[in-house]
Amino acid sequence: MDLIRQPWPWYVAGPLIGLIVPALLLLGNKAFGISSSLRHICAACVPANISFFKYDWKKEKWNLFFAAGIIIGGFIATSFLSNPGQVNINTHTTALLQQEGVKDFSGLLPQDIFSFRQLFTLRGFVFMVVGGFLVGFGTRYAGGCTSGHAIMGISSLQWPSLVATSCFMIGGFVMTWFILPYLLEL
């Protein structure tokens, strides 16, 4: 049981994630990605006359089961298998965040930013609502999420996925080093 509770090293977790790609391709010619699940849910639940949602979503119901498995697995992992100790964060990162006013590192996410109480502050609103909108918009604009492009797209040698993943990485670096310090001052 301790093996499951501890973080796995990259050389174990990485290949396991990577093996999802050939497994999905061999078992049903399916593409890995999670962002399309919201579209499938809307197509199934919202019988509107919107052309974007008019397709045979039932052919993609496996993706809905996959997304449900991620949610259920996350619940099981955090409820029953989580390590009760503090999350290990690089000391340099912790020091930088503490300089910016982030003090509580007791959970998976800093409670000084990501808590229901913080949602009603300007900082929390920007991080959770505006950030969530930008992630959703970017996912739709890029034609997929980081997992779909980086794991599935690059491994199947798709040029647009390489471009999208490069842009995701550049955006992450710009956000971390140039924008995040200003947002933490809110």
Range of the domain at 47: 1-82
Domain boundary among the residues 42, 62, 82 is at 82
Taking the chain (186 residues) in runs of 10, the rounded mean pLDDT of each run is 79 89 87 84 83 87 90 89 76 88 82 86 90 89 86 89 93 91 84
Number of folded domains that form the chain: 2
Predicted local confidence at residue 178, as pLDDT: 92
CA dist., res. 34 & res. 49, Å (int): 24
What pTM does this model have?
A: 0.75
- Residues 99 and 183 reside in one and the same domain: yes
Exposure on the CB side of residue 166, measured as CA atoms within 13 A: 6
Quick one: tokens of 6? 């501890």
pLDDT given for residue 37 in this prediction: 87
Last residue of a domain, one of 82, 100, 120: 82
Spatial CA neighbour of 107 closest among 77, 80, 78, 87: 87
Give helix 61-80 / helix 36-45 axis angle, nearest 10°.
110
For residues 137 and 159, what is the distance between their CA atoms, to the nearest angstrom?
Answer: 21
